[in-house]
Amino acid sequence: MLVYVDDLILAAAELKEIIWIKTALAKAFQMTDLGELKTFLGLEMSRERNQRLLTLHQKKYINKILQRHRMEDTEPSYTLLDPGKRLPSYKDLSPGQREVKTIDTEVYQSAVRSLMYAMLGTRPDIAYSVGLVSQFNHAPVWEHWIVVK
Residue ranges of domains in the chain: 2-35, 76-148
Closest C-alpha to 86, from 26, 48, 133: 133
Mean pLDDT across 91-104: 75
Q: Give the Cα separation of 22 and 78 in Å (integer).
A: 44
Kindly report, residue by residue over 10-32, the tens digit of the pLDDT.
988 888 999 999 999 999 989 88
Q: What are the phi and psi torsion angles at 20 (to 5°)?
A: -60, -50
| Mean pLDDT over the full length of the chain | 88
pLDDT at 108: 95
pLDDT higher for 89 or 97?
A: 89
Q: Which region holds residue 5: left if phi is over 0, alpha if psi is between -120 and 50, else beta?
A: left
Mean pLDDT across 115-131: 93
pLDDT confidence bin for 44, thresholds 50/70/90: very high
SS3 115: helix
Q: Which region holds residue 70: left if phi is over 0, alpha if psi is between -120 and 50, else beta?
A: left
Quick check: 55 pLDDT over 80?
yes
Q: Give the Cα separation of 129 and 125 in Å (integer).
A: 9
pLDDT at 123: 92
Quick check: 1 pLDDT over 80?
yes
Quick check: 117 pLDDT over 70?
yes
pLDDT confidence bin for 90, thresholds 50/70/90: confident
Q: Give the Cα separation of 47 and 83 in Å (integer).
A: 35
pLDDT at 18: 92
Quick check: 100 pLDDT over 80?
no
